[in-house]
């Protein structure tokens, strides 16, 4: 490898006594090339191993660590962390590893797979604060405080894969447009398909309060039903697009 072929003159005595010249090929290893290639390879490997976390989440978010083990901020006061497992990534043909969401009254863990334009939660479970919803969708016209639980299996956030999950909340306090309401305990069904991720939120009587859809274009479509408008502050029965 990295060798070149050089020639030197040689001779051979034939049976008739005459000397005839031939060119003998000798393989010479260019050690300078090998050393330079090794140094460049080590430098590129170092860049890959210590590639900053911003390369994974973009420069618009604050992040620490590397693309292999890092954490990014989710305002207000939450953080999304990840650890990439190389062997699992090779087997999955995509980055795979563990994810965590931590913050006030929040501890959610899961196994994840990073596909193009989507994060697939193979398995996820935990409890958290409803304020996490505002961190994930800052364009919502209201914010809620309370407790929630989450479970998910093969849920693709952003679409690209079929999966599902379950969201549950206790009594909450929501504020928006100068109004404050106290919604009752709610439950939500999470589903994902090729084109996006959906959430259907229902009240204690199983009546639909709201529907949300996150498409592959990262646009959130939010539909508020008349029942939902009665418990979510500052909203009327309508459909909004949040970018």
The percent of residues above 70 in pLDDT, for the chain, comes to 79
pLDDT band of 44, cuts 50, 70, 90: low
- What's residue 25's pLDDT? 46
Cα–Cα distance, 233 to 109 (Å, whole number): 31
Average pLDDT over residues 122-149: 88
pLDDT in tens, 23-42: 444 455 566 667 666 666 65
Cα–Cα distance, 49 to 160 (Å, whole number): 28
Q: 2 in helix, strand or coil?
A: coil
Write down the residue that tokens 């604060």 correspond to.
Answer: 129
- What's residue 235's pLDDT? 78
Could you tell me if 164 and 153 are in contact, meaning their C-beta atoms sit under 8 angstroms apart? yes
Which of 145, 134, 149 lies closest to 220 in space, CA to CA? 134
Average pLDDT over residues 157-167: 91
- What's residue 60's pLDDT? 66
Q: pLDDT: is 188 or 217 the higher one?
A: 188
Cα–Cα distance, 131 to 67 (Å, whole number): 27
Phi, psi of 88 (to 5 degrees): -65, -35
Phi, psi of 230 (to 5 degrees): -75, -20
- What's residue 136's pLDDT? 78
Cα–Cα distance, 211 to 193 (Å, whole number): 15
Could you tell me if 81 and 95 are in contact, meaning their C-beta atoms sit under 8 angstroms apart? no
Would you say residue 156 has pLDDT above 50?
A: yes
Cα–Cα distance, 225 to 212 (Å, whole number): 11
Would you say residue 5 has pLDDT above 90?
A: no
pLDDT in tens, 75-89: 878 999 999 888 888
- What's residue 21's pLDDT? 45
Would you say residue 48 has pLDDT above 90?
A: no
């Amino acid at each position: 490898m990295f060798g070149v072929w050089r020639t030197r003159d040689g001779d051979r005595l034939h049976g008739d006594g005459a000397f005839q010249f031939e060119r003998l090929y000798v393989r010479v290893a260019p050690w300078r090339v090998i050393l330079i290639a090794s140094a460049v390879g080590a430098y590129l490997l170092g860049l890959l191993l210590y590639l900053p976390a911003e390369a994974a989440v973009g420069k618009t978010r604050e992040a620490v660590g590397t693309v292999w083990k890092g954490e990014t901020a989710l305002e207000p006061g939450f953080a999304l962390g990840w650890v990439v497992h190389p062997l699992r990534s090779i087997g999955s043909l995509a980055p795979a590893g563990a994810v965590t969401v931590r913050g006030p009254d929040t501890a959610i863990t899961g196994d994840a797979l990073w596909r193009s334009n989507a994060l697939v939660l193979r398995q996820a479970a935990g409890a958290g604060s409803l304020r996490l919803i505002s961190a994930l969708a800052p364009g919502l016209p209201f914010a809620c405080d309370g407790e929630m639980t989450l479970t998910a299996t093969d849920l693709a956030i952003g679409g690209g894969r079929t999966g599902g999950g379950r969201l549950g909340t206790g009594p909450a306090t929501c504020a928006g447009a100068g109004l404050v309401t106290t919604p009752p305990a709610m439950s939500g069904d999470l589903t994902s398909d090729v084109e996006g991720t959906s959430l259907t939120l229902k009240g204690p009587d199983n009546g639909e309060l709201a529907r949300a859809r996150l498409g592959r274009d990262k646009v959130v479509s939010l539909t508020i039903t008349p029942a939902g408008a009665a418990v979510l502050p500052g909203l009327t029965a309508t459909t909004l697009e949040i970018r």
